[in-house]
Chain A
Amino acid sequence: MASEAPALIGSSGDSLREAFGKALSGLADEFPKLVVLDADIAGGTGVHHFRKSHPERFLQFGIAEQNMMAAAGGLAAVGLLPVVTTFAVFCLRAVEQARLSLAYCKRNAMIVASHPGLDVGPDGGSAQALEDIAAFRAIPGMTVISPADPIETALATRAILEFDGPVYMRTGRSPARRVFGDDHTFEIGKGRIVRGGNDVTIVACGVEVARAVEAAQVLAEDGIHARVVNMATIKPIDAVLLERCAKETGAIVTAEDHNILGGLGGAVAESLALTYPCPIEFVGVKDVFGASGEPEELAVMFGLGSKSIAEAARRAIARKGRM
């Protein structure tokens, strides 16, 4: 387990969606039952790579997400391994299909959603899904994953293909920073400490992991040692690791590119309420819609940047002993 600060490798120019799309193509021969479902948005979700490499297993559904989502249930029912791809916001349109025709039927089907959160950037508020983790997390039996960087996205892509059961996974639209080295490993359901510290734990997922590491670096300059946990699996949440972090650091900050209601923060709070209640501060979009802008500008404006995370950490620490 890394206790050193990982080197943020900077923008690799590679977005999580590209990492996903390339990984999927690379895995296709190993998973002969894999089929990829698209709703006229392959260029955006990264599966254009798969369309090119495996056209016979690329299924076009047109701009009709509800039919696509439920049809994935049928494809899974006859033994194929369907991966539904579209933008996160359009997955919201088919939540009920995912609920009844995938999760309730316990289908081995995957939903991989690109363009989540403010990371969408210039397309603006209409396109920025800030509710998807909450919606999919509430579906019984649905596993929910949000990897942090391109390396982890590629590993998670393999992991969800190997996993049995319905999965919702977020990728990302914008060029992502590398958080992990090539030796990184990924396991569904396991959080990972990516930076050691005992004053507070920052639990983050997706793009917020890199920002959390940055925040920890800033806090370290003031002598505050923040632990950073990459909680790539939001459901099932790693309750054991959370309890341990709460005991060892006494305060928690959650950070996600999502509404503060019902997402990672909610999952962490629900878990710790039962195991080891302690002060928790929530970094995320505060129950409002997004807006156009570059992801970094939006992160600052909506309080998702490293500065906001560091401030939340100081607040959480200040609340220790006041519970």
Chain B
Amino acid sequence: MAFAPKAVITSRREAAPPPARDLEQEIALAARFVRQHVIASIYHAGSGHPGGSLSCADILATLFGAELNTWPGSPHDPMRDRFVLSKGHAAPALYAVGAHHGYCDKLASLKLRKFGSPFQGHPHIGDLPWVETSTGSLGQGFSVALGMAMGLKLQNSSARVYALLGDGELQEGEVWEGAMCAAHHKLDNFCAIIDYNKLQSDARNDEIMRLEPLAAKWRAFDWAVAEIDGHDVSALLKTFRRAGATHDRPSVIIAHTVKGKGVPYMENMPAWHGSVKLTREQADDALTALGATHKEIREYLDGV
């Protein structure tokens, strides 16, 4: 499939040292920031999707904190890895992790969903170049990401492509078109992560449309499959490293998560999928549960 003689893509990660303790702590802190920022931005917006933004916070914090070779100062560098938020409704989490790592401003990104703000309800590349592609229609980001992986491989690039999908999103036929396609083209520079929080918009996956046996489905499509706790940073780090060293097959990480993770009254409650309005009291409670101090809470909620 390559233009020139096919280059063997050796992952830069194969030789990487094992993750250090303080890296894990750093990522955990970033994830906590992401969750707090998500609550604050959705509070100010008066709408948004908290449940699925909270469930993927650790995944995003790990990707941006350790796995992705991207640089906030050069969002167009051809050598960069690509990350696509295929579950685009988790935009608040993407903006938050972006703010943490310097891709955008912390305060500006609290102006979620506001008139004139580049932080739209779903990520738009026209507003924010670093989001890589516009998403919001489930299924599409995955296909765009695999197109990127295919194109990078064709050009003998060693950059990798990551896509984060929701579990409900897997009900889109397009995802399975793409799953077949990525395996057929042996896109081993491509890694999909499933935020397997067991809930979708209205109810549990099981009630809406059963996904199980999920790992078996991906295995049958000839993907390299890993199944882990999506809140375990150490497991995430190890699994990403292994995915980076996979040859001839794309990788999927089925990350078991809790929708609404970190905010007790939201956890596992379909009602907090979105698009919900948070009262001041609810936002306060959520931020407290997420470890914010009184001062931080005042800054988050009154400082804008």
A67 touches B177 (CB 8 A): yes
Binds A, one of B34-42, B151-159, B214-222: B151-159
Give which listed residue, A66, A82, A105, contacts B139 with CB less than 8 A.
A66
| B-side contacts of A64, CB under 8 Å | 174, 177-178, 180-181
With A66-B174, A78-B152, A100-B140 known as contacts, the answer to whether A73 contacts B181 (CB < 8 A) is: no
A100 touches B137 (CB 8 A): yes
In the complex, residue of chain A having the shortest beta-carbon distance to the beta carbon of B174: A66
Binds B, one of A53-61, A153-161, A254-262, A285-293: A53-61
In the complex, residue of chain A having the shortest beta-carbon distance to the beta carbon of B2: A56
* Residue A74 interfacial (CB < 8 Å): yes
Interface residues of B in 161-179 (CB under 8 A from A): 161, 173-174, 177-178
Interface residues of A in 69-105 (CB under 8 A from B): 69-80, 82, 96-97, 100-101, 104-105
Interface size on B, residues (CB 8 A): 37
Give which listed residue, A71, A76, A82, contacts B178 with CB less than 8 A.
A71
| B-side contacts of A35, CB under 8 Å | 151, 154
A77 touches B143 (CB 8 A): no
B143 to chain A, nearest CB (A): 3
A67 touches B143 (CB 8 A): yes
| A-side contacts of B259, CB under 8 Å | none
0/1 interface trace, chain B 1-25, chain A, CB 8 Å (1 if under): 1110000000000000000000000
| B-side contacts of A72, CB under 8 Å | 147
A105 touches B126 (CB 8 A): yes
Give which listed residue, A62, A73, A96, contacts B147 with CB less than 8 A.
A73
- In the complex, A72→B146 CA distance in Å? 9
0/1 interface trace, chain B 130-151, chain A, CB 8 Å (1 if under): 0011111101100111111111
* Residue A22 interfacial (CB < 8 Å): no
Give which listed residue, A61, A76, A79, A101, contacts B140 with CB less than 8 A.
A101
| A-side contacts of B151, CB under 8 Å | 35, 74-75, 77-80
With A67-B177, A104-B126 known as contacts, the answer to whether A97 contacts B140 (CB < 8 A) is: yes
* Residue A307 interfacial (CB < 8 Å): no
A74 touches B133 (CB 8 A): yes
| A-side contacts of B134, CB under 8 Å | 100-101, 104-105
* Residue B32 interfacial (CB < 8 Å): no
Give which listed residue, A74, A77, A106, contacts B126 with CB less than 8 A.
A106
A71 touches B78 (CB 8 A): no
Interface residues of B in 78-135 (CB under 8 A from A): 78, 82, 124-126, 132-135
A78 touches B148 (CB 8 A): yes
Give the residue among B137, B151, B178 with the most A Cβ atoms within 10 A.
Answer: B151
In the complex, residue of chain B having the shortest beta-carbon distance to the beta carbon of A37: B147
Interface size on A, residues (CB 8 A): 31
Give the residue among B125, B140, B184 with the most A Cβ atoms within 10 A.
Answer: B140
| B-side contacts of A74, CB under 8 Å | 133, 143-151, 161
| A-side contacts of B178, CB under 8 Å | 64, 67, 71
A66 touches B124 (CB 8 A): no
Give the residue among A61, A71, A77, A82 with the most B Cβ atoms within 10 A.
Answer: A71
In the complex, residue of chain A having the shortest beta-carbon distance to the beta carbon of B143: A70
B180 touches A75 (CB 8 A): no
A307 to chain B, nearest CB (A): 45
- In the complex, A77→B84 CA distance in Å? 12
| B-side contacts of A76, CB under 8 Å | 147
With A62-B181, A101-B140, A104-B124 known as contacts, the answer to whether A78 contacts B173 (CB < 8 A) is: no
- In the complex, A240→B236 CA distance in Å? 60
B2 touches A71 (CB 8 A): no
Give which listed residue, B124, B135, B157, B181, contacts A67 with CB less than 8 A.
B181
Give the residue among B124, B125, B133, B147 with the most A Cβ atoms within 10 A.
Answer: B147
Residue numbers of B with Cβ under 8 A of A are: 1-3, 78, 82, 124-126, 132-137, 139-140, 143-152, 154-155, 157, 161, 173-174, 177-178, 180-181, 184
List the 6 closest A-B pairs by CB distance, nearest first: A74-B147, A71-B147, A70-B143, A64-B177, A67-B177, A74-B148
| 6 A/B residue pairs, CB under 8 Å, sorted by A | A64-B178, A70-B147, A71-B178, A74-B150, A101-B143, A104-B126
Further 12 A-B residue pairs, CB within 8 A, beyond A67-B181, A79-B78: A35-B151, A60-B184, A70-B139, A70-B144, A71-B146, A74-B144, A77-B144, A77-B151, A78-B148, A80-B155, A100-B134, A105-B133
